[in-house]
Chains A and B, each alone.
Chain A
Amino acid sequence: MEFRSPEFKTRAVHALHDANLQKALSNTKAGFVVKRAQAAEAMPEFEALRDTAAEIKNHVLNNLDHYLEKYEAAVTAAGGHVHYATDAEDARRIILGICKKAGARRITKGKSMVSEEMGLNEALIADGYEVVETDLGEYIIQLADEPPSHIIAPAIHKTKDQVADLFAAAHHKPRKTDRAELVAEAREVLREKYFTAEVGITGGNFLVAETGSSVIVTNEGNGDLTQTLAKVHIVTSGIERVIPTLDDLSVFLRILARSATGQETESYTTFSTGPRREGDVDGPEEYHVVLLDNGRSKMLGSRFQDMLRCIRCGACMNHCPVYGSIGGHAYGWVYPGPMGSVLTPLIKGMDGTYDLPNACTLNGRCKSVCPVRIPLPDLLREIRHNQFRKDMTPKRQKQALKLWRYVAERPKLYHFAERIGVRILASMAGGKGKLRSLPFDPGWTGARDLPAPTGRTFLELWQAKRGDQ
């Protein structure tokens, strides 16, 4: 998928002025945020489950090579094939090879962020395959020729009217405006695709070493039809997604849906273990798992190892004020929001990703809701340190900080400057309590007001108060 993180700033400004997007984003808050809070509240064990989940993940990461070998052996024993891919190109080569061998023409896909990371759709289409995304949200954005804007709700930025236009143009049927009719129309169109596709590609939320099973969690059932009706099932997943046992998995099943959508459970949790068995009347004839590294092994043992605990629930972005203002597309690659601002520089490199960690306000809401307790603000700050060490910080910012440091190390000068500053700002605000634009940094006030001081500094107020007593 196209890498547009270098354009973060301009895309963020564009997003702030997109009325449809702003309407859609306001729904997120009312939906996911409130529902997650209710789900967490309703479960007394929720916090303890988060601790346990983080512990299990840490245990796996410290023994990752062993659990991958165990998982691989179990898949092989069940008649499946495990392929390791060091990077996106390696993964594309493997999957194109499987599709070619299967004589495929049409390929259905369940939602997989790892496949977006691989740039898989573009590669398959370039090789002449028809690729059909079957998750309704992914299908909508595929018709719109856009990348996902949220990892679990990829079409969250689209309004019903926009969906109606896309369907009318693609399906050559009378334009529907009723939500249920739109869903029914997609159901009918996609059904035919499931039954005629030769290859079905899904993601893998979890890989169970004990049984050799890949696990997907969905509400629509599209992943199940994709992987059951095609002759060949290909699972795409990251090397860090393996967990030891079914009992470990149970912990994650209890926190994933609650963190993601506020549901107690999704409609479907599906385990796949190898191809069709003797006597089976349905199921795929071949089963492949493609495990992607793509920079993950480099995070192990580093300050960023905690990021590998991520289970891709989307809670961090749902609760992020920056994501909530600009949506997912501004981030410019597969993973948006806080987790994306950590992963994108680590996977795609420091070049072109400077703005992502710097867009964070370090408010900490992401960390407070992360089901596996990833210290996202600390990791974002760590990336900023790396940027500074590599001398990537803009000159003007460095000069401003140097000036601030000079003043801050001299308390008398600091208080004097502060007294002058608040009085100027207060008089500029003219008693309205806020400033519409800042003369020295109009960018800052481009999309917000600056609360203006009322005339005295904190220290002055404090000293006056102490004098009173």
Chain B
Amino acid sequence: MSSRDTTLSAIRKALGRGPLDEAARSKLDARIATPPQHIRATVDDADLVARFTQRFESRAGTTERIHSLADVPTSVTALAERYGIAPSAVVGSALGELTWPEGWQIDHGAAGIEVMLGVSLAWRGIAETGSILMLSGPERPITHNFVPETHVVVLPVEHIVRHYEDCWVALRERGQGAPRAMNFISGPSRTGDVEQTIELGAHGPRRMHVLIVG
């Protein structure tokens, strides 16, 4: 008997039954198809953008409100100058239409070990915890989120939702199943592994800046 069959029959034996019958299985499948809604954290803020900003900044992230997508390169340039970062970045082709000032090197491919700056388009922002949700795909390489030392995230204001659950509704409406990778990111990388004292930039980005657009 394969390890799979051994394990599944051990489970059934322990539960004192054989495989579930058709009726029981369809009931469980219906629970997946129409997921029960559970208690959530109360988010009664009228202003979700303010809540998102306050929560994200509480974990050492920074935010900036900009008028339109066309302003992204200006903000990124100012940030790069402020921290002495060379004008070179990986940018997902989801943001491929942006016009960068002269002198900038923009790459849409995967982030290599030497990349210091990444600019990505968020899929959703969650007001409850001040987190962003990134989906992977050809236009949104996942390495951009973790390899660069500085990560700039572009978040359209209309994509800020209240709860995690709002993302699941949107994801199901999108209708392609789960993307290969999906990341909630709630601030810069951190560690408390040396004497339980927080240090930023353990492995992922040391600095995270969200540009809220609109």
Contact = CB atoms under 8 A, between A and B. Distances in A.
B15 interface: yes
Contacts of A208: 178
Interface stretch (A270-278, A365-373, A393-401): A270-278
B6 A183 contact: no
B196 A265 contact: no
A202 interface: no
A183 B202 CA distance: 6
B39 A221 contact: no
Given A219-B202, A267-B190, A248 B35 contact: yes
30 contacts: A48-B39, A63-B24, A78-B178, A84-B4, A136-B193, A136-B194, A136-B202, A137-B191, A153-B196, A182-B194, A184-B201, A187-B201, A210-B35, A220-B191, A221-B146, A228-B146, A245-B31, A246-B171, A247-B35, A247-B38, A268-B183, A268-B186, A269-B184, A270-B184, A282-B136, A293-B7, A297-B14, A298-B10, A300-B14, A301-B14
Interface in B115-159: 129, 131, 136-138, 141-143, 145-147
Given A225-B204, A283-B136, A63 B20 contact: yes
B201 A219 contact: no
Contacts of A153: 192-193, 196
B177 A273 contact: yes
Contacts of A245: 31-32, 35, 168
A206 B124 CA distance: 22
Interface range for A = 35 or more
Interface of A: 24, 27-28, 31, 43-45, 48-49, 52, 56, 62-70, 77-78, 83-86, 90, 134-137, 140, 153-156, 158-160, 163, 179-180, 182-184, 186-187, 190-192, 194-195, 208-213, 219-222, 224-225, 228-229, 239, 244-248, 250-251, 253-254, 261, 264-277, 279-283, 291, 293, 297-302
Interface in B1-31: 2-4, 6-8, 10-16, 19-20, 24-25, 28-29, 31
A271 B181 contact: yes
Contacts of A68: 7-8, 11
B189 interface: yes
Nearest to B168: A246
Nearest to A279: B138
A416 B111 CA distance: 80
A275 B147 CA distance: 19
B6, B10, B110, B191: most-surrounded residue (chain A CB, <10 A): B191
Nearest to A300: B14
Nearest to B176: A277
A297 B187 contact: no
A48 B40 CA distance: 9
B11 A297 contact: yes
Interface residues of B, number: 80
A219 B35 contact: no
A247 B165 contact: yes
A281 B141 contact: yes
A190 B137 CA distance: 26
Contact of B203 (A137, A222, A293): A222
A279 B139 CA distance: 9
B55 interface: yes
Nearest to A80: B180
B11 A180 contact: no
Contacts of B178: 78, 208, 211-213, 271, 273
B185 interface: yes
A225 B14 contact: no
Nearest to A305: B14
B10 to A, nearest CB: 4
Given A264-B55, A271-B183, A225 B147 contact: yes
Contacts of B181: 228, 270-273, 283
B20 to A, nearest CB: 5
B73 interface: no
A253 B164 contact: yes
A262 to B, nearest CB: 11
B28 A63 contact: yes
A81 to B, nearest CB: 12
A244 B15 contact: no
B203 A250 contact: no
A346 to B, nearest CB: 13
Contacts of A44: 42
B87 interface: no
A219 B60 CA distance: 13
